[in-house]
Structure 1
């Protein structure tokens, strides 16, 4: 396709049409010139394929593989696995004639109350960036584009179409933009979806600082920017400030739009740039057309593998794994006719088939079953039936969690507590049979405080997708060894969370007051107790980390090489995630106590040892310096921390990182002696002054330095010229 040739031949009407959808699921082409349109579809956990030309009585959707939700995918800590998830979804897209998948969701998690958290990977921006990058690479390897969303600062459902997210520059760069930056630079998603909300007062679809200055100019992005469905506030302002396509269609061309072009409010150069981006997408789609045979049974089996790796064993006093053949009580409708395998909204798809945990558990044990609850409530009759099952069982597995009314796109949660009916059921069952294992189905963090005393084991089973039943049963009975890790912190109570009292905002604004201290950065820096920390996950195996070695010979090239050995010291095959964090020993700006920078998931045979190598680069030691308007490194001491969660650090190593970045403005004479001696540059000047005069008295160390200088002037009879020279020397 010769883009420039086509551009020349297009009429104004054809160009304007291309900047909007032709319907809800298609972008315009140019039929007259043989340029095809582009078909798009939801969703990030499996495609929701709307059949075209559906006749009355026929199903509207085609079946697809429903993978675990994004928070569960991130819990695998396995980028290669998620790359293959993307590949399989891409193959299904290609089979059904879909050109662009509307995902992945890559927003942050300010609060566990955000209703769409299940659709986003993690509270940690680096983990989110790694997972999003892998997913995008997988999808696009099949010749199907992705639409990374929602760009940017779209961390809530409440008032999402008009709320203004007030975010400072450093927080925006380090927490919310970072995953998008990583994916743009490493995977180049073919499209990016601009968000509903306003960012510091400007709508996401007409925000030139975000869409042009950062995305296009700084990152060099060459794909298209498409609006979220119904997100455009003003089409002309959107076109002028970075949006390529308004969705959904059919978007009409009105006189106001034509006049804007004729009067050069929208220049022809700007219009052609947008059309060029659209044509480039069409070219990518056409140049990468591939054909895949659809094997939904094979894909379902793979989804089962992903679900198994996503399961996180939160707590286990030794009751797990269960023994095959026992009398097992299974309680909770989530195990049977109300399986919670996906969240609501745009992530919904028509699953090819849905496994029931109850059926999978029957292969392992003599199972008796009770429903236990209806949605969020139990009743005397349901409770009586459940208690009867529990009394007659050796052990009990009880399924609980959030309902579709509690967790979905379109609204935020009102609590992180489990439903009252589920908690009551757990407490009453434990009274008649203390051998209780609780399996949680939820898309984001929940409070477990109310059920800790009643449960001997707690299994976090997320929204595991339609192939979850067998995966859960295999973990419970030890056929599979849990290796999942929490992609977000489970707090003790909502009052401890980072955005408490600043979520979901007041009137039309939400202030990201917590700044960079989100997720574990908040809990660990403030040393708050948590129910289960970020990165936590138990195993039936035991692992040891030894022989940490840091090679800084390549420091001049901006690289640090870290080696560490991991050994499976148990008699059982298993997997572990080694997590590398950095801690800045002392910094001018506020920094988190630790930040995840690298991780590696490894599976080891009993007594097997493997050496892992991590390469750190200069950017890993940097923070976003607002005065410099770029990432910069503050010279000083750092610690490399190796562990298996943010709270389980096994090995540490200190090192000095040199830097010429002037991240801190020089101190003036309005700052006290006590501050001047904290920083090497200023301290050297003070030491020189003290050597020629005297040490200050304690009462002279706290006021501005200029007061002490005034005293010294009179003590040592400095002339006006000498006094000015000393001040000048200190100030330069």
Structure 2
């Protein structure tokens, strides 16, 4: 982002009064920054949206009464998908509702994400929006999480790369992005108070890694902190998170924004590195004013936030451009294409799909979702779609030569048993039946986690009954995340549509009839049952703490390390064609510190139709220094191939891709006997593999203390000779006698000083030994060099 000259920024901030500074680092109303007219500083407008622009005409256009703003904000957050109509969308401006993150993540396509960013930017500019509050990339740690539908994946590589694509598209067109929610917003239960308690390895390797990756690849102009405390400290008030890691380690120079009303201690948030408090809050501004007047607020920290916001505002204003009417029809077609290329074909026995040669055939469509589709989740990201494809209409348009019957199936549609019997009777007369199934709406969304992963009442029984007719049975699933499928072995085909946006109806029809070859791959693991979910036994936490008990073994890593068979594995997705992999080569003979590894292989389409294949690169450590996942995704790419076409794929693995975070040394470390580089179609479908030996980094010597066991002391390469010389000099012994004293401690399991004291009593004090050990640890003693 182009920034204004630092000296000029400092000069403008120096002209601000204390009251203006307090206003400037606080929102103005619900969706604006504060303008300071006397200094020529305008306001910018921001609004929600990761998969669509949610522009509220009353909230943004009508001013900034704080009470009204808070009421409006809560009304948005608390809306549920089943409210429908005005209850769902209120006074928001119609816009394109693109596929939600849960489906876009299955595209594994960064170019699609970039096109989405460009389209969102166009709609923002048409409405006068400078900053769009997204994308959200929290790890989908549990499918129960109420906001899982907004997020891309359980893996930081997929999450980070897709987010970077969207941010590049959005900011390249002049609209700012806000990467959120930093960090560990993985549950909606008491979300502003429940501490996400996560060990540092899991934080570094899983939960922060996607943010780090997205920032490195796209430089978002803002980062939004999370509602929840992280390891006991509010995310918006964590200096470790926002300054030590984000700014000092990662070099981030943009603006940190709070989530709406997330700050509890405003002065602490300033000191931690939160620049802009959103939205406007009289009480929080009063607390900041009081801290400043009492001398409890670091004035330089306040000025620093003012400079960042000023640079950001001026840069955004400079990127405003006059735009004509947005081509919403073109955006609708993009929404259709995105959904069609992201839908996941989970199962397709005996080539049940695509549906072909429909003349004279009878298709039974069952389920209210065919005429009233759920296209998105609930909460602040909800978009008012300007049009919605009705799946049944789209199916009829593509199969006009077939006889298509429809029957709704809903809890409020009468006795479920009678509805199932009616559906079975009609299925016996049909050639195939398409069931629209969905999770229970209304019990998930922002502010509320799901209570289970079951389908809506009666739908499992309906599907089971339909399979008993012998009629080909196809299930199309709408869901925020995983659902249980107890009937999976009995149906012929299953399509996972997640939340497909306003073009989902046409997208599904195109996939069903082979107009589009499905190429989506799961970006999360689907469990067989709710008890298989990683960390389920400590979810959702208690007494204000939510322990991430699975640590680094999130998602597929957990299923692998426990040898648990998932319903469908991470990365899984079928096609109407077939792909083969071959000719893997690497440009290195070993994995060595600081050097990348480049691999090349071929993937070919051996089928009869055009298709796209997502190739996934996993790294599997062999005899690592610490416990590590069986394998981890490190790169991916998507390839479009005509029938008979073969592509040569080149992928570079960076040094970091082989490392883990060593909490003992506080740095990324390379240590293993070897690594298997695996080219895969999913985490459980490894197609090619090459093992490379590893030249590990030297193991750092342990820090030793007088209470360390002799085994630990002697594992330090300089400890034994230093001890021997010390004992010779201090006790006036010969070298052989000193060596016997040292050897006499080796079998002890208690502290070294206690073990030595059995032989020498108090001839050497513990303090003297501590001084020696400090010198060994710091390598400061001349005789140790």
TM more than 0.5: yes
Residue 29 of structure 1 and its aligned partner are, at CA, apart by 2.1
Shift of residue 115, structure 1, vs aligned partner:
1.4
Question: 1:359 is matched with which residue: 384, 387, 393?
Answer: 393
Name whichever of 434-443 and 6-15 sits farther off.
Answer: 6-15
Name the counterpart of 2:683.
646
Select 1:95's aligned residue among 126, 138, 145.
126
Paired with 1:375 and 1:295, the residues of 2 have a C-alpha distance of: 39
- Find out whether 1:510 has 2:546 as its counterpart: yes
Aligned to 1:566: 603
2:170 counterpart SS class: helix
From the superposition, tell whether residues 550 and 582 of structure 1 become closer, same or farther in structure 2 (CA, over 3 Å).
same
Report deviation, 1:264.
2.6
The correspondence for 2:466, drawn from 404, 429, 434, is 429
Q: Out of 286, 290, 315, which is 2:347 matched to?
A: 315
Determine the structure 1 residue equivalent to 2:363.
328
2:155/2:555 contact within 8 Å kept: yes
| 2:576 alignment partner in structure 1 | 540
Tell me: CA distance 1:646–1:624, structure 2 relative to 1, closer, same or farther (3 Å).
same
* Match 1:591 to one of 624, 628, 633: 628
Deviation at 1:362, TM superposition (A): 0.3
Once residues 158 and 253 of structure 1 are traced to their aligned partners in structure 2, the CA distance between those partners, rounded to angstroms, is 24
Contact 1:116/1:409 (8 A) holds in 2: yes
* 1:45-124 matches, cutoff 5 A: 45-51=51-57, 52-53=60-61, 60-124=91-155
Q: 1:659 aligns with which of 690, 696, 699?
A: 696
CA contact (8 A) 1:565 1:609 kept: yes
Unaligned runs of 5+ in 2: 64-85, 720-744, 753-768, 778-783
Listed one character per residue, the Cα deviations across residues 104-135 of structure 1 (whole Å, up to 9, x for unaligned) are 11111221111111111100111111111111
1:452 aligns with 2:488: yes
Quote the residue 1:235 is aligned against.
Answer: 266
Question: How far is the alpha carbon of 1:545 from its aligned partner?
Answer: 0.5
The runs of at least 4 aligned residues of structure 1 exceeding 3 Å deviation read 52-55, 250-256, 374-378, 553-557, 663-673, 679-682, 703-707
Paired position in structure 2 for 1:224: 255
Per the TM alignment, residue 406 of structure 1 is displaced from its structure 2 partner at its CA by 3.1
Q: Which moved more, 1:308-317 or 1:655-664?
A: 655-664
The aligned counterpart of 2:333 is 301
| Aligned counterpart, 1:717 | none
Contact kept in structure 2, 1:260 and 1:266, CA below 8 Å: yes
What is the CA–CA distance in structure 2 between the aligned matches of 1:255 and 1:637, rounded to whole Å? Answer: 58
Query: What is the alpha-carbon distance in structure 2 between the residues aligned to residue 259 and residue 495 of structure 1?
Result: 50
Distance 2:396 2:290 in 1: 69
Partner of 2:502: 466
1:501 to 514, 537, 546: 537
1:35 partnered with 2:41: yes
Aligned length, in residue pairs: 692
Q: How far did 1:84 drift?
A: 0.9
Q: CA deviation at 1:526?
A: 1.5
Deviation at 1:665, TM superposition (A): 3.9
Give, in whole Å, the separation in 1 of the partners of 2:141 and 2:666: 24
Distance 1:520 1:49, change over 3 A: same
Matched ranges for 1:261-410 at <5 A:
261-293=292-324, 294-317=326-349, 318-323=351-356, 324-325=358-359, 326-337=361-372, 339-363=373-397, 364=399, 365-374=402-411, 379-410=416-447
Range moving further from structure 2, 28-37 or 465-474: 28-37
Instruction: Give yes or no for contact 1:125–1:175 (8 Å, CA) kept in 2.
Output: yes
Deviation of 1:382 after TM superposition, in Å, equals 3.0
3-state SS of 2:624 partner:
coil
For 1:335 and 1:680, the matched residues in 2 are separated by 70
> Are the equivalent residues in 1 in contact too, given 2:33–2:43 (CA < 8 A)?
yes
Aligned residue number for residue 235 of structure 2: 204
TM-score for both structures, normalised by structure 2:
0.83
- Assess if the C-alpha contact under 8 Å between 1:376 and 1:420 holds in 2: no
Q: Once the 2 structures are TM-superposed, how far is the Cα of residue 347 of structure 1 from its aligned partner? A: 1.7
Gapped runs of 5+ residues in structure 1? Answer: 683-702, 711-723
Shift of the alpha carbon at 1:446? 1.3
Q: Which residue of 2 aligns with 1:689?
A: none
Is 2:182–2:223's contact at 8 Å kept on the other side of the alignment?
yes
Distance 1:129 1:378 in 2: 47
1:580-729 matches, cutoff 5 A: 580-662=617-699, 665=702, 670-671=710-711
Separation of aligned partners in 1, 2:290 and 2:48: 35
Does the CA contact (< 8 Å) of 1:436 and 1:457 recur in 2? yes
User: Are the counterparts in 2 of residues 564 and 613 from structure 1 also a CA contact under 8 Å?
Assistant: yes
CA–CA separation in structure 1 for the residues paired with 2:353 and 2:285: 65
Q: How much does 1:255 deviate? A: 5.1
Judge conservation of contact 1:434–1:454 (CA < 8 Å) in 2.
no
| CA distance in structure 2 between the aligned counterparts of 1:50 and 1:297, rounded to whole angstroms | 22
CA contact (8 A) 2:44 2:317 kept: no
Deviates more, 1:121-130 or 1:106-115: 106-115
Is the partner of 1:462 in helix, strand or coil?
Answer: coil
Q: Does 2:557 align with 1:526?
A: no
Q: Residues 209 and 445 (structure 1 numbering): CA distance in 2 closer, same or farther, change over 3 Å?
A: same
Q: CA 1:247/1:383 → structure 2, altered by over 3 Å: closer, same or farther?
A: same
Q: Output one character per residue of 1:491-514: Cα deviation in whole Å (capped at 9) or x when no partner.
A: 111212211111110120011111
Deviation, structure 1 residue 556: 7.3
Q: Cα distance, 1:377 vs. partner?
A: 8.8
**Quick check: 1:369–1:389 contact (8 Å CA) kept in 2?**
no
2:200 to 136, 148, 169: 169
C-alpha distance in 1, partners of 2:638/2:97?
A: 24
Q: Are the aligned partners of 2:431 and 2:471 in contact in 1 as well (CA < 8 Å)?
A: no
Deviation of residue 463 (structure 1)?
A: 0.4
How far apart are 1:221 and its partner, in Å? 1.4
- 2:414 and 2:116 map into 1 onto residues whose CA distance is 35
Distance in 2, matches of 1:31 and 1:252, equals 24
- Cα distance between partner residues in 2 of 1:279 and 1:672: 54
Match of 1:16?
Answer: 22
User: Mean alpha-carbon deviation: is it higher for 398-407 or for 275-284?
Assistant: 398-407
In structure 1, the residue corresponding to 2:603 is in which secondary structure?
strand
Question: Contact 2:22–2:285 at 8 Å: present in 1 too?
Answer: no
